[in-house]
Amino acid sequence: MKVLLGLMGLLILFEGTWLFQNKPLEQSMADGEEIYQDFCLQCHLDNGKGVENAFPPLAKSDYLQNNIEASIRGIKYGLRGEITVNGNTYNGVMVNQGLDEEEVADVMNYILNSWGNKVENQITVAQVLEVKKQ
């Protein structure tokens, strides 16, 4: 009986995880926009252009397009040190905002599909879970 209950619990957990990861892109982006407004807008601005020599742009960002995993890591754990975005070097600190994996995926989907950015693959919770701190 305990084994059966344990298996049912695992099934419910896996089913919930599957539903989380299959959120439609439009819903993920809408949720991500809310997160962006609460956590990212102060530095990267409402248009995603950032502040020259201080906060890198997210709009039409070559860094985001070419460094998906590093971008996820930066949002998930924070980012410190030098990066080059659209030919300009930034050397600052972005603190960990305390977002959970679903929130990281949602804000990434919003950023990666806004302000001239476009990616083919949706960022999933599973993908965020795979990204480890370095």
> Beta-strand (E) ranges in the chain?
79-85, 88-94
pTM: 0.83
Q: How far apart are CA 134 and CA 132, in angstroms?
A: 6
Confidence band of 93 (pLDDT split at 50, 70, 90): very high
Q: pLDDT tens across 42-91, in order?
A: 999 999 999 999 999 999 999 999 999 999 999 999 999 999 999 999 99
CA dihedral 56, 60, 66, 68 (to 10 degrees): 70
Q: pLDDT tens across 24-34, in order?
A: 999 999 999 99
Q: pLDDT tens across 103-113, in order?
A: 999 999 999 99
Q: Nearest to residue 124, comparing CAs of 110, 100, 104?
A: 104
**Spatial contact of 9 and 23, defined as CB atoms under 8 Å apart:** no
pLDDT of residue 51: 97
CATH code: domain 24-130 is 1.10.760.10
pLDDT of residue 18: 52
Buried b (16+ CB within 10 A) or exposed e, 92-112: eebeeeebebbbbbbbbbbbb
Confidence band of 36 (pLDDT split at 50, 70, 90): very high
